[in-house]
Amino acid sequence: MKSTLSYILILTVFALPAFPQNLEISLENEQFYQVLYHLITACGGTPWLNSYPLDAEEVHSFLTRIEQENLTNKLIYDIKYFKDRSLFYTQNRAFGLNYFADIRADVQRSAVNDFPEHEKLHYITWLDLEGSIYPLEHLQIYAKIRLGATDSFTVPYLRPWQKNFYGYLHTGYLSYSSSGFNIQLGRQIPRWGPPFSEGLMLSGETAPCDMIRLSYKHDPFFIQYFSTRLDDYEGAGDSLYHRFISTHRIGFKAKDLEVGFSELTLYGRPGGPEWYYLNPLTIYYFEQWNHRGYDDNLFFSLDLVYSRPSWPQVYAEWLIDDFQIDFVSEPHETGWKVGLNFVPPGFEQLYANLEYTRIANWVYSKFEAYDNYLYNGQPIGFPWGCDVDRIRAGLRYQIRRDLSLQLRYERIRNGEGQIWRYFDGPVTGTKFPSGIVETTDRLELITLWYPCSQIYLQPSLEYRKVQNAANQDGHEKDLISLKFLLNIYH
């Protein structure tokens, strides 16, 4: 049945007529976002940043403004190129079809010092085909199909077709927009929070989710909501729990400041979803308090970004897990991050980033395993899980109008705390990070070249060294990864 629906959707994308309408900029178009952040930090004035994906019309208006005001005279970006990229998302071509084609390759060589026989080459490749059409004036149909191959098939939510080849509808949805209101039904990657790295509540690093999503934008406010079903959890005996997420968010944007407040609940039930969680207007914490019997996994998040022309750009997020209204029952478990983007005075071609993230020992986990903050075994929040901190620094240099170089370093410390392993000791007084600490040093060099307005190429080289791998004392790993991305759009 699912394959039939996917087939029908693909045929629809390539068959229907079209009308002009707005699109969102793909979350995976990382380098577009990196350039945009550089321009915002240098020139000021922003679209909505903490709510992904970004609105293409807002981005195009921002690029047009800084070009008209000649704010980029010291920046050597090809503004026309990036305007064309954003314009791709706001206008359709002659036959009403917009599409991307991404070709990616990732080859890795890893070695474990204790087990040299584990040295081997790994590969993963995939092709993304992305398109959209507009059968009605306010209605958009969007789909992205991913085809790939890998030597070690480890995608938990997919089955290979034959050997290690796979393919699926990565994202696809129907979207209706009118007078600031938008409703979307389909498959997307959940994401919001500070725009310059992974969110702590919704990182954007998880598998796509089938959801219903509502939003309403009327400056200075932006209200959002979605509900989705996750993978099921098989309990003891024949028990089966269906797992769901409902979340809503309100954002406020003044001239230089954007602030967002979010609430999210993850819950498991033997039956279907709870109707009171499907209501976008309810406060989930009160609903859980008033409907005793289940102790669901509840989160609050506060995020902000401050962007002022010629000033360093500051962003932050604070996450609280299992908020206690009496402030006495047990300590609140929190995660937070703070970051800084800046363009050094006199070196406008440089763009620098510094960031620190800290997630406490017991964040994301719950006593009932079906309430753990995981989707297909992967964290929904910060990709490295809990009991972890990370410091990251990056430097981007625009060599010429069509060529840039980026260097990124990060150190991650992972304690023995795991989202899937609920604590059996005291919440307070535990060392952070706990137990034997895994330490990862990661260095990445990325080149971006866009020879014309329809193509960009992105080769990158990464080296990763892991000490006390998997929290085993003295266990070390080295990994070298070579990646190549070719992006074509029309």
Q: What are the extents of the domains in the chain?
A: 2-489
pLDDT of 357-369, one tens digit each?
Answer: 999 988 998 888 8
For range 265-292, the mean pLDDT = 88
- Give the per-residue pLDDT at 14: 32
% of the chain at pLDDT higher than 90:
29
Name the strand (E) or helix (H) holding 33.
helix 30-43
- Give the per-residue pLDDT at 111: 55
For range 430-444, the mean pLDDT = 90
Task: Name residues whose C-beta falls within 8 Å of residue 425's C-beta, 6 or more positions apart in sequence.
Answer: none
For range 250-259, the mean pLDDT = 89
Taking the C-alpha atoms of residue 31 and residue 40, their distance in angstroms, rounded to an integer, is: 14
Name the strand (E) or helix (H) holding 268.
strand 257-269
Cα dihedral 83/192/337/428 (nearest 10): -170
Q: Which CATH architecture has domain 2-489?
A: Beta Barrel (2.40)
Q: Tell me the Ramachandran region of residue 364: left when phi exceeds 0, alpha when psi lies from -120 to 50, beta otherwise.
A: left
| pLDDT exceeds cutoff 70 at 438 | yes
Q: Tell me the Ramachandran region of residue 29: left when phi exceeds 0, alpha when psi lies from -120 to 50, beta otherwise.
A: beta
- Give the per-residue pLDDT at 121: 67
DSSP-derived secondary structure for 276-334 = HHH-TTS-HHHHHHHSTT---EEEEEEEEEE--TTS-EEEEEEEEES--TTS-SSPPEE
- Give the per-residue pLDDT at 3: 40
**C-alpha atoms less than 13 angstroms from C-alpha of 10 in its C-beta half-sphere:** 13
Output the CA angle 86-90-93, nearest 5 degrees: 105
| 147-151, 174-178, 247-251, 457-461, range with the lowest pLDDT | 147-151
| pLDDT exceeds cutoff 80 at 146 | yes
| pLDDT exceeds cutoff 70 at 7 | no
DSSP code of residue 456: E
273: cis peptide before it, omega within 30°? no
pLDDT of 167-210, one tens digit each?
Answer: 889 889 998 888 889 899 999 888 888 766 788 999 888 889 99
pLDDT of 13-65, one tens digit each?
Answer: 333 333 333 445 554 566 667 777 777 777 766 677 777 666 777 777 777 77
Handedness of CA 423, 425, 431, 437 (dihedral sign): negative
Pick the more confident residue, 350 or 22: 350
Taking the C-alpha atoms of residue 431 and residue 408, their distance in angstroms, rounded to an integer, is: 29
The rounded mean pLDDT for the chain is 78
pTM value > 0.75: yes
What is the radius of gyration, based on Cα positions, of the chain?
23
Confidence of residue 476 (pLDDT cuts 50, 70, 90): confident
Q: Are 312 and 343 in contact (CB under 8 A)?
A: no
How, if at all, do strands 191-192 and 181-188 pair?
Answer: unpaired
Residue 302 tokens read as: 């506060």
| pLDDT exceeds cutoff 80 at 228 | yes
C-alpha closest to that of 23 among 104, 85, 68, 81: 85
% of the chain at pLDDT higher than 70:
74
Angle between helices 30-43 and 56-68 (to 10 degrees): 40
Taking the C-alpha atoms of residue 63 and residue 85, their distance in angstroms, rounded to an integer, is: 11
Taking the C-alpha atoms of residue 382 and residue 390, their distance in angstroms, rounded to an integer, is: 11
- Give the per-residue pLDDT at 97: 47
- Give the per-residue pLDDT at 380: 93
Cα–Cα separations (whole angstroms), residue 463 to 297, 439, 478: 36, 14, 8
